[in-house]
Structure 1
């Protein structure tokens, strides 16, 4: 079955055909690093990650780029704030951004995400942004006004093709003080003079708060039009084309970015290059807390770090993937509890299959219909993922397999080795490699706990040595060695190896 995706640009499900039959160019609109990442961000990350994994499963190389917006007065507004550890978030815009970038990348690792090829930052791409703006001015698609540069939407005939809006119906973009500078109310800023940042007044990613557009403490750069800062929309075009070229295969982001952000990306990119900017536009729908979108500005969010500590990575991935990426999902404690139970059910079936296939009761000459049920689950899973990455139905296929394994194992004394082996491989190929679950998570947790206990014993041993109780210290070392843990005393303190 050919992979088909729902393309926002056409509104149709289309057969997926990347420009290069071997490699997919995937770009995801990343975050503005002005606060902690929350579950709304995590949900889209997990779906982008699963799309990445499925494309690799189909045999594609995936060049995955996810930008980081580190120039924004929401960041400026947090300069000097105290953080949870009683230090400051940072004394300037870059320092604050770096603080949140460190936390962002840690959150990504905690969710078991495939790493992108690059996480470009705005501050690292200002020369490319200026070059792109210059190209648009030279081609007549943009104009300078009082040190700022605006894109002229009337010069781009296809404006509105992504959001299906007519130009005469498009509302004015930008704050009131810009309107006198612009030729058309819908024109948008590419470069803002005097440190004013256009990104604050757009409906910016996952944040609906109103901001003062003055950014007196924000960083500025010299440009052909004077000192200033990049507009919000130009950032993604410059960074994506720097790392992936003029035409992307997949551009993904939140549904709330279709207009104006993605519409403006198309206009400025295609005006500059004369090429199609992205072949397929995929949009993740809203993640809600009750009746409202989960948002930092509304204060109705749960940080990723807190959720991972509380629920675990695999249960969270189970929760997110239980709804398709382009459907609205609502957070609730009941939904999380259900996801935990579903994960435990899947994990138990996998563990039972592993135990049985590795047991003496597994035989190569036992016939059963288990192999057929494994193949049926594989076909269902593949069909679901090839239907616009339908993770909900893909999970249903794995639970059908879990039911088949459990019913097969109950009350038997001998097992079908080949059927069980195929079941284990399917759980791990699809559950781990594609959906990103960790069937060895408990073992890793036990290993972590064991390591902490060893360190605790070593600390007690050091205390005994410091107190002159050498016989007790030696006995603790001997007890550890009897368990297969070799202790080595060094100038920097004791170390151990198994």
Structure 2
């Protein structure tokens, strides 16, 4: 089955055909590094991670680039709170993003370019647009002339007249209200910072003094927001790429403006496929740093663990809106627990003395093969991760049925089930099936045994409340304790 993707540019689900049949160039719009990353950001990260894993599984050499926007008024607004300058604040949050990405078991992109290290490339691209008549200078700033690009609005399905009628902000130095800045003269104005400031931040005027500026042919200034991604994508991938991914809220104006400035500069199609990750909602509104209704990635990983979080974030396909709530997290926890138990049971039965080379359970084998086919069909249907996860749950059901019904086990069928969990659940969905080393397991087991020994001593001394507390603490860490006539047993 051929991979099909939902292309925002055409509004259709269409066959995926990269320019080079052996490789895929993929750019993902990364974060403005001004706040702690939250689950809305993680939703995009995890889905892009799975997209790349599946494309690699299909045999493509995937070149994945994801940027950090480290030059922005929102970053300046955090000066005094998370750093003494715009550069310091950006560095602080870039580090947090990297740590959060690693905690979610994301594969590394080919490179994570930052705006501050690509100003020469940005200036060069702006110069191309000025020289070709698609941009103009005004009082040290440079603006893109939207009327010079005939297809402006094709991504968001609007016209210049539509945008103007919606009340696009007019500035006296612009030729048209919808024209957008490629280069901004001077530094950052206090009025641009005040609306984003926190009480703990430095005064706006003082914070603005730390904002970064660069020399350019039009005078000292800073890059516009939209030109950044075009320049970094062209620098590290090509002037034309296969896939551009980003959040749904970036379709207009950010991605629309990327299309216009890129294609006006090169005369080539900028991206063949535009894939947009729908928003994560909570209590009826989108999860957002600006709304203050977010759950940080760091806190969520600490509370739920990376596998429950990945299961939650993949429980809705990227092209559908998702909801964060106690109910959706509970469903994810239950799904991950079923998958983990299914994997552990398959491993235990496969390695059991009663697993035989001559035993064949065709029902088990057919169920596993059908689940693999369903997983492939789901992923090829616009990366439908929810249906892919459901296919893995079918493997759990097949394993449980086989082990419950037989005293002699089908080794080959169980081995195929284990491989399915590891190759598809681990390799594609990024879940941690079988990733602990023997050393990790041994150390963890030794520590649990030590705690259980202390717990038994507390019980013998009549300190039952403390013993119960130790059991609860172990269970909070993912250790299931059961008291038996022969003493306590546990399962990690």
TM-score bracket, normalised by the shorter chain, equals 0.7 to 0.9
Alpha-carbon spacing, 1:319–1:156, altered in 2? closer, same or farther (3 Å): same
The answer to whether residue 295 in structure 2 is matched with residue 275 in structure 1 is: no
Question: Aligned residue for 1:8?
Answer: 8
CA deviation map 1:370-407 (0-9, x unaligned) = 11111111111000000000001111111111111111
* Partner Cα distance (2:445, 2:414) in 1: 31
TM-superposed deviation, 1:364: 1.1
The answer to whether residue 291 in structure 2 is matched with residue 291 in structure 1 is: no
TM-superposed deviation, 1:232: 0.3
The answer to whether residue 105 in structure 2 is matched with residue 90 in structure 1 is: no
Question: In the alignment, which of 374, 383, 389 is matched to residue 368 of structure 2?
Answer: 374
Tell me the TM-score normalized by structure 2.
0.85
Unmatched 5+ residue regions in structure 2?
Answer: 197-203, 452-492
Question: Aligned residue for 2:429?
Answer: 435
* Partner Cα distance (2:144, 2:351) in 1: 65
Question: Aligned residue for 1:347?
Answer: 340
Alpha-carbon spacing, 1:334–1:354, altered in 2? closer, same or farther (3 Å): same
* Partner Cα distance (1:216, 1:227) in 2: 14
Question: Aligned residue for 2:176?
Answer: 184
* Partner Cα distance (2:399, 2:309) in 1: 24
CA deviation map 1:123-147 (0-9, x unaligned) = 0000000000000000000000010
Instruction: Determine if contact 1:253/1:284 at 8 Å carries over to the other structure.
Output: yes
CA deviation map 1:14-51 (0-9, x unaligned) = 11111111111010000000010000000111000000
Instruction: Determine if contact 2:168/2:177 at 8 Å carries over to the other structure.
Output: no
* Partner Cα distance (1:451, 1:152) in 2: 68
TM-superposed deviation, 1:412: 1.7
Instruction: Determine if contact 2:422/2:434 at 8 Å carries over to the other structure.
Output: no
Deviates more, 1:332-341 or 1:384-393: 332-341
TM-superposed deviation, 1:172: 8.1
Question: In the alignment, which of 278, 289, 314 is matched to residue 307 of structure 2?
Answer: 314
CA deviation map 1:173-196 (0-9, x unaligned) = 9995x6101001100000000114
Q: What secondary structure does 2:367 align onto?
A: helix
Instruction: Determine if contact 1:27/1:250 at 8 Å carries over to the other structure.
Output: yes
TM-superposed deviation, 1:411: 3.7
TM-superposed deviation, 1:170: 0.7
* Partner Cα distance (1:447, 1:38) in 2: 34
Q: What secondary structure does 2:272 align onto?
A: strand
Question: Aligned residue for 2:50?
Answer: 50
Q: Please give the residue correspondences for 1:86-485 in structure 2 after superposition, counting only pairs within 5 Å.
A: 89-171=82-164, 179-196=171-188, 215-369=208-362, 370-440=364-434, 446=441, 449=444
CA deviation map 1:63-118 (0-9, x unaligned) = 0000000000111111111xxxxxxx211111111011111100000000010000
RMSD: 2.5
The answer to whether residue 66 in structure 2 is matched with residue 73 in structure 1 is: no
Question: Aligned residue for 1:484?
Answer: none
Alpha-carbon spacing, 1:171–1:442, altered in 2? closer, same or farther (3 Å): farther
* Partner Cα distance (2:279, 2:374) in 1: 27
* Partner Cα distance (2:166, 2:20) in 1: 36
Instruction: Determine if contact 1:173/1:188 at 8 Å carries over to the other structure.
Output: no
Alpha-carbon spacing, 1:333–1:447, altered in 2? closer, same or farther (3 Å): farther
Instruction: Determine if contact 1:234/1:268 at 8 Å carries over to the other structure.
Output: yes
Question: Aligned residue for 1:31?
Answer: 31
Alpha-carbon spacing, 1:221–1:248, altered in 2? closer, same or farther (3 Å): same
TM-superposed deviation, 1:365: 1.1
* Partner Cα distance (1:252, 1:330) in 2: 20
Question: Aligned residue for 2:467?
Answer: none
Alpha-carbon spacing, 1:325–1:289, altered in 2? closer, same or farther (3 Å): same
* Partner Cα distance (1:66, 1:448) in 2: 37
Unmatched 5+ residue regions in structure 1?
Answer: 82-88, 205-211, 457-498
Deviates more, 1:329-338 or 1:348-357: 329-338
TM-superposed deviation, 1:217: 3.0
Q: Give the number of aligned pairs.
A: 438
CA deviation map 1:151-179 (0-9, x unaligned) = 00000000011000011011489995x61
* Partner Cα distance (1:289, 1:416) in 2: 46
* Partner Cα distance (1:263, 1:47) in 2: 22
Q: What secondary structure does 1:170 align onto?
A: helix
Alpha-carbon spacing, 1:447–1:155, altered in 2? closer, same or farther (3 Å): farther
Instruction: Determine if contact 1:172/1:186 at 8 Å carries over to the other structure.
Output: no
Q: What secondary structure does 1:308 align onto?
A: helix
CA deviation map 1:200-248 (0-9, x unaligned) = 79xx9xxxxxxx8994431100000000000000000000110001111
Instruction: Determine if contact 2:65/2:112 at 8 Å carries over to the other structure.
Output: yes
Tell me the TM-score normalized by structure 1.
0.84
